[in-house]
Structure 1
Amino acid sequence: MESPSLPVTAKDWTSTSLHRVLCMQGGEGDVSYVNNSDCQALAITLCKPILISSLQSIKLFTSPIIRIADLGCATGSNTFDTVDTVVETLRQLFTAVYGGGSLEFEAFFCDLPSNDFNMLFRLLSEKQKVDSAKYFASGVAGSFCDRLFPRGTIHVAVSLSALHWLSQIPEKVLEKGSRTWNKGKTWIEGAKKEVVDAYAEQSDKDLDDFLKCRKEEMVEGGVLFVLMGGRPSGSSSQFGDQDTRVKHPFTTTMEQAWQDLIDEVI
């Protein structure tokens, strides 16, 4: 389970600009993302063959520098493993096509401004001492629903287990007394259709913004690889489902965790 840090006030939680306060838990403690991201690591491992297959179709070697962006990198070995896969795959492909030569890589680790970039680069520095530097690296702080790079500069962009996070709370669900007010709940399981539709609209907008931004930033012929959770089309499966707890145990567990935090504050 992912572990978002919670150094925020009640005012922050009712804001639509959560991207400046929400992040995966930093550091290396028991509740840190570094030590609680095995599920995401498994998903990355399972999709690795598809990622490699996608990269092998690329034809980008007119440039001596290949630029890679991990969108929603968080911290720890998951993002390093992903970038390593991209670098090694493209290096091998370049050697097979051209028989050698010089090819350099630049990796951009991208996440919200509140992400623990200090921990990220400390771990990267320790890793590169052992592995030797395979690429140049930098951090980019910002929402992937916005533009992050100049036009036509990114050859490979990946976003793994991150795109399901919305850019903001739908404004409609904060309107007290309305049909879309999600009173007493922090999730959509068991919510009214109007609430579900409000979240679906926000999700559609965020995905549209994400793709429009990548269209501007990507080099023509580049690779955009996305891994994210999904649900069946339509809203009927989002509510009124008696088997929700069995089908989506994560959502009900998270709802209870949020409620426990609220109760502690109260």
Structure 2
Amino acid sequence: MTGGEGPHSYAQNSSFRGEVFEANKKLIEEAIVKNFDPMTYIGPTNVIRIADLGCSTGPNAIKLSAHQIPEFHVFFNDQVSNNFNTFFKQLPPNRNYFASGVPGSFLGRLFPKKTLHFVHSSSTLHWLSRVPKEIADRSCSAFNKGRSHHVNAPKEVEDAYLAQYRADLENFLHARAQELVSNGLMALQIATVPDVILESDIHPSRAYELLGSTLMDMARVVIEKPLTV
């Protein structure tokens, strides 16, 4: 994600994800009211711990309206390359919770065992940890020559992406299972596509296809007409 607060930064270009969060905010609040009683978790430290995984730098991080008893500690997580300086400058100065930054991939452990009471992640789990190695292997049937994505690619390519996603999601859930307290809650907002719609027909897929085609044309020009200094 592009850091800072300039016209091309994530902070200035994340309204769509903000709308996604607001659309599901009521469902999350209802689930918390129905299934989570903070008073049952009060221990010697009197603290409820919350993690927002994949917070990025924009204004769409989880927001709280909480009383002082118990106290709330919110951990904002993203990759080590995230612009945490910009992010923390956007937090309200009079917030009624304690805030900390936790850099690192959420596909692995980030917190001690049984320390989190609530975990939230919005519009983040569609990102893969890496490009499937099969699609760059010329000897493999999943070799994805001429594309930057799996849209309109052979089934072997799609299966390679799917296998990588399953492995990443399994790692994510395994890590959170260890970090959440008993009866803790987790709210995940994940982009999905109905089975009746072809993946090649959805808007993001068309955008990826157009972007990939443009990148291939640019690479072809450089190869055919090398730039000189």
Residue 253 to residue 206, structure 1, CA distance change in 2 (3 Å): same
Which string of whole-angstrom CA distances, capped at 9 and with x for unpartnered residues, describes residues 230-253 of structure 1?
23469x944xxxxx3xx3122221
For 1:119 and 1:263, the matched residues in 2 are separated by: 35
What TM-score do the two structures reach when normalised by structure 2? 0.87
1:70 partner amino acid: D
8 A Cα contact 1:75 1:120, kept in partner: yes
Is 1:173–2:155 an aligned residue pair? no
* Structure-2 separation of matches of 1:233 and 1:140: 36
Q: Does the aligned pair in 1 maintain the 2:38–2:70 contact within 8 Å? A: no
Residue matched to 2:178: 216
Aligned to 2:225: none
* Cα distance in 2 for residues equivalent to 1:231 and 1:178: 28
Whether 2:70 is the aligned partner of 1:103: answer: yes
Match of 1:198, SS state, is helix
- 2:1 is the counterpart of 1:27: no
Matched, 1:59 2:59: no
**Secondary structure class of the residue paired with 1:191:** coil
Match of 1:42 among 13, 19, 27: 19
**Partner AA of 1:252 in structure 2:** R
The answer to which of 167-176 and 254-263 deviates more is 254-263
Once residues 53 and 164 of structure 2 are traced to their aligned partners in structure 1, the CA distance between those partners, rounded to angstroms, is 19
SS of equivalent to 1:140: strand
CA deviation digits over 1:156-191, x for unaligned, max 9?
Answer: 100001111011111111112421011111111100
Residue in 2 that maps onto 1:97:
none
User: Whole-Å Cα distance in 1 between the matches of residues 154 and 38 of structure 2?
Assistant: 48
Indicate which of 57, 75, 100 corresponds to 1:75.
57
Moved over 6 A (4+): none
- Partner of 1:116 in structure 2? 83
Inter-CA distance 207–59: structure 2 relative to 1 (3 Å threshold) = same
Residue identity opposite 2:202 in structure 1: H
Deviation digits for residues 80-112 of structure 1 (CA, Å, limit 9, x no counterpart): xx2x2xx32x64xxxxxxxxx722111111011
Aligned to 2:162: 200
Which position in structure 2 is the counterpart of 1:95? Answer: none
Q: Is the 8 A contact 1:69 1:154 kept in 2?
A: yes
2-structure distance, mates of 1:171, 1:215? 28
Q: For 2:3, give the aligned amino acid.
A: G
CA distance in 2, matches of 1:32, 1:257: 19
Q: 1:161 aligns with which of 119, 123, 140?
A: 123
Q: Which amino acid aligns with 2:37?
A: K
Give me the whole-angstrom Cα distance separating, in 2, the residues matched to 1:48 and 1:164: 20
**Cα shift at 1:59:** 2.7
1:252 is matched with: 206
Identical pairs, percent? 36
| Higher share in helix | 1
The 1-side partners of 2:7 and 2:218 are apart by 20
> What are structure 2's unaligned runs of at least 5 residues?
223-229
Q: Distance in 2 between matches of 1:200 and 1:214?
A: 21
Task: Count matched residues.
Answer: 215
Gaps (5+ residues) in structure 1? 1-23, 92-100, 239-243
Give the conservation status (yes or no) of the 8 Å contact 2:6–2:12: yes
What secondary structure is seen at the aligned counterpart in 2 of 1:214?
Answer: helix
How high is the TM-score relative to the length of structure 1? Answer: 0.75
